[in-house]
């Protein structure tokens, strides 16, 4: 039997966008988000920042050189979510496990991280690292993953839901459950009518697949345009109505919709750097 991949937490969700300052300003203004680290990755032609929104950690990559890796990716695929990083107890062991399973490594910075091929992971671009970053609020003794970085103004009440749009939600979720030694979330209410998920405690990874229904038009279009990949990130809030009112008061536009049977609030992608950010109770 193959070894399973131990997941300590979601390290962060990576977003590629053009407007670095605009996106950070949106998060600071909307969520009072602490940006706890800023740096550059000149080898990729990018500026980077790590910041929190409730229990969710995000890293933004914005191009500084249009024709290097980050700028080229945005030109090809557009501004959106790129990948999920998992923190693992041992990077060396994680490398062995993914290699045993025939999962291709596309980028390897020794003693730092690896990226694995999304085509081997049901559309998930996955980064693995054992690194814990300086000044990360989650390193504090009083960190509570169910609450997040203090009392944020939108009422975010836990970690993120990372949604992948795929061809077969059940098969994709079963693959991830087997990879990580986890169980499918039996009582989970998905953000689409055809959904399956794994609950990692501080985050949920959800796979959704479009049906023939008109309500799944956006999912079908996303799948046709870019194949299986990260579709959205959803943050849980205590009250959708209160979150909507607070977002409006802070100049953040949003729209109500229904995902499966779950009411959702969609942030305006022109403000979120092209990435689909949502809220649910």
Question: What pLDDT was estimated at residue 145?
Answer: 64
Sequential pLDDT tens for the chain (281 residues): 689 999 999 999 999 999 999 999 999 999 888 799 999 999 999 999 999 988 899 999 999 999 999 999 999 999 999 999 999 999 999 999 999 999 999 999 999 999 999 999 999 999 999 999 989 989 988 887 666 655 678 999 889 999 999 999 999 999 999 999 999 999 889 999 999 999 999 999 999 999 999 889 999 999 999 999 999 999 999 999 999 999 999 999 999 999 888 999 999 999 999 999 999 99
Q: What residue spans of the chain are helical by DSSP H?
A: 20-31, 69-77, 91-100, 169-180, 217-226, 240-249
Q: How many CA atoms lie within 13 A of 201 on its CB side?
A: 9
Give the distance from CA 174 to its chain's centroid. Answer: 19
| Pairwise CA distance, residues 182 & 129, whole Å | 19
What is the greatest pairwise CA distance in the chain? 54
Q: How many other β-carbons are positioned within 10 Å of the β-carbon of residue 256?
A: 11
Q: How many other β-carbons are positioned within 10 Å of the β-carbon of residue 173?
A: 25
Residue 150, C-beta contacts closer than 8 angstroms, at least 6 positions apart: none
Question: What pLDDT was estimated at residue 217?
Answer: 94
Cβ pair 229, 173 in contact under 8 A: no
Question: What pLDDT was estimated at residue 149?
Answer: 52
pTM of the model: 0.95
For 180, phi then psi, to 5°, come to -105, 0
| Pairwise CA distance, residues 209 & 15, whole Å | 22
**Please, is 89 exposed, middle or buried when counting C-beta atoms within 10 Å of its C-beta (0-12, 13-18, 19+)?**
exposed
Nearest to 16 by CA among 83, 76, 61: 61
Q: Which domains does the chain have, with CATH numbers?
A: 9-139 (3.10.180.10), 161-280 (3.10.180.10)
How many residues are given for the chain?
281
∠ Cα 144 149 155 (to 5°): 100
| Pairwise CA distance, residues 185 & 174, whole Å | 11
Question: What pLDDT was estimated at residue 148?
Answer: 63
Cβ pair 54, 156 in contact under 8 A: yes
| Pairwise CA distance, residues 26 & 252, whole Å | 8
| Pairwise CA distance, residues 23 & 15, whole Å | 10
Q: How many other β-carbons are positioned within 10 Å of the β-carbon of residue 40?
A: 11
Q: At 40, is the secondary structure helix, strand, or coil?
A: strand
| Pairwise CA distance, residues 4 & 249, whole Å | 46
Cβ pair 262, 189 in contact under 8 A: yes
Q: At 173, is the secondary structure helix, strand, or coil?
A: helix
């Amino acid at each position: 039997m193959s070894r399973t991949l131990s997941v300590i937490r979601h390290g962060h969700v990576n977003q590629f966008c053009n407007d670095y300052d605009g996106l950070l300003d949106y998060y600071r203004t909307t969520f009072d988000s602490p940006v706890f680290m800023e740096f550059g990755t000149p080898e990729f032609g990018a500026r980077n920042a790590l910041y929190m929104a409730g229990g969710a950690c995000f890293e933004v990559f914005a191009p500084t050189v249009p024709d290097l890796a980050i700028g080229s990716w945005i030109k090809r695929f557009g501004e959106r979510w790129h990948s999920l990083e998992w923190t693992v107890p041992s990077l060396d062991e994680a490398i062995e496990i993914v290699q045993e399973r025939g999962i291709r490594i596309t980028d390897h910075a020794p003693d730092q991280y690896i990226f694995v091929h999304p085509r081997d992971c049901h559309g998930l671009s996955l980064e693995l690292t054992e690194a814990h970053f300086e000044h990360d609020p989650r390193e504090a003794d009083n960190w509570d993953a169910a609450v997040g970085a203090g009392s944020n103004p939108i009422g975010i009440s836990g970690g993120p839901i990372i949604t992948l749009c795929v061809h077969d939600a059940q098969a994709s979720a079963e693959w991830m459950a087997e990879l990580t030694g986890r169980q499918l979330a039996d009582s989970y209410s998905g953000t689409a009518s055809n959904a399956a998920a794994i609950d990692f405690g501080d985050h949920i990874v959800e796979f959704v697949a479009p049906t023939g229904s008109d309500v799944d038009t956006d999912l079908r279009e996303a799948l046709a345009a870019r194949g299986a990949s990260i579709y959205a990130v959803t943050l849980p809030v205590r009250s959708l109505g209160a979150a909507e009112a607070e977002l409006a008061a802070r100049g953040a536009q949003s729209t109500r919709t229904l995902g499966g049977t779950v009411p959702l609030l969609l942030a305006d992608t022109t403000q979120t750097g092209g990435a689909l950010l949502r809220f649910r109770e």
